[in-house]
Structure 1
């Protein structure tokens, strides 16, 4: 009888162990299923690869500029592209526009350009005895402003409302821009004659300031080879659209769902706060910069196939977001100090969250 009781106890114990094992297995399966239900970023990555492939038909190198412009599109942000003449700033922006099946408008800024040349104007209709509003070239989806610092302050100020609020107000009537609405602007940092410096309020409306440098030796050789093979012909029609307006809007909403841990939010806030208390800076970054770093980091993670943000995403985007928002003190400017050095010091000083 005692042996039978012992056997029953052992059998009962085995059943309990088996039950616990099954429960553990169920828990693991539940966690795995939760992991698998995260964002499906495959189509987004394929779209980004397709855009790069189409632009790469005519552009050699400039990978960072192209990636930052794609991030701009995914975060619904504007970008300022700065570089010396001849480094394919304007052509790259035009080709990128051709990869998307959306409206495109190019505006060449000149010293005699008026706000009405951009926004449109009201014209009196003799037949109806009423004023009719004729929309300007700003009414499109992707606006390329070439040499934005060539136009005077009153023309630059015409962009304030439309860049910040995606609308313009004309004769007391509000006109909304159709999404997506993005502004890509170029400027030459070398020439100063006949140019007008952009005010800080307008610079702050740009998500990125993208510095475009000269190509390296290998890229330069490849540029010459391809130009020789094309016989100096530039066929823009060879670039085909790969994204529609609806897909862009969908991917913009998808990027917003990328996960950001609370300690990374604190990290972003610490970086921006440091710019306001830094002894080397006369002007720090605004809360708009904090939001820009957050959104751009999400997009950077998404195009790399991750549904969560890492400190590296933040550090990569922070430089292009902060450099045009910070102003050095006069003493530092006299010492030939640069904003890039200050940003690097800030990123090295603040502890990276683990």
Structure 2
């Protein structure tokens, strides 16, 4: 996914970082990266990235202007980590659903407090790793034991995220997940997603029926689809383009709430649907994963820049 794996790592002792600083935002602790080449903001709660931009660029991520930064409350925007299940528990495969003992959607990782594992800095990149030990502390919502390790690599070329799940229990572990990426646009009706043509998707707004996609994905009101695809994607907006390249995923979720649902969502402006879309790297629907004892699986995405004549 990234050329960074070929570079010699430079580990920086905590407290001696050159570009990374602690900051309290609202009631939450975050790491702010002020590198000469880029900026980023990463919260410990949810291992939630809310801002990334190369120097002199607008934010590559969409963040609600009514988002609240409170303990136990999911942040609206950025890249929430949906884990160890995605979406409505009842809509997950039986192997995933049987471990869930709550009606809450999208798992508990996005509101849990993650542990900072490492910060590595160089003249070209900053790499940050956080972990979540999903043990008996989460027994009221989920029956399982797994370790989630997420690594962010920021550079002038883009942002890489790799989420690795390791099954720490003796029984097979089934789970679903998503990197719920919110992207900005100046006009949702002049925005399209390329790379999903000729694929099939589940339309969750139409009785979860299967549909065939022909050509680019356009947005005309509320959209909520789970695509069966692992192809690289390009998101074209009136001001430019982004590329999303995934690993460990055979499902892509494309979502926009439209005007009616936007009015019902928490921490979401009524007109916010006009300026955002979600394109989520996922293991969703039939693309859920099963790990035997000690096995690991990595779900990842690289978000890069590409310029287009619109």
- For the superposition of Structure 1 and Structure 2, which TM-score range results when normalised by the shorter chain? under 0.3
TM-score, with structure 1 as normaliser = 0.24
**Greater RCO, CA 8 A, separation 6+:** 1
TM-score, with structure 2 as normaliser = 0.27
Highest CA radius of gyration, 1 or 2? 1
* Higher strand proportion (structure 1 or 2): 2
* Higher helix proportion (structure 1 or 2): 1
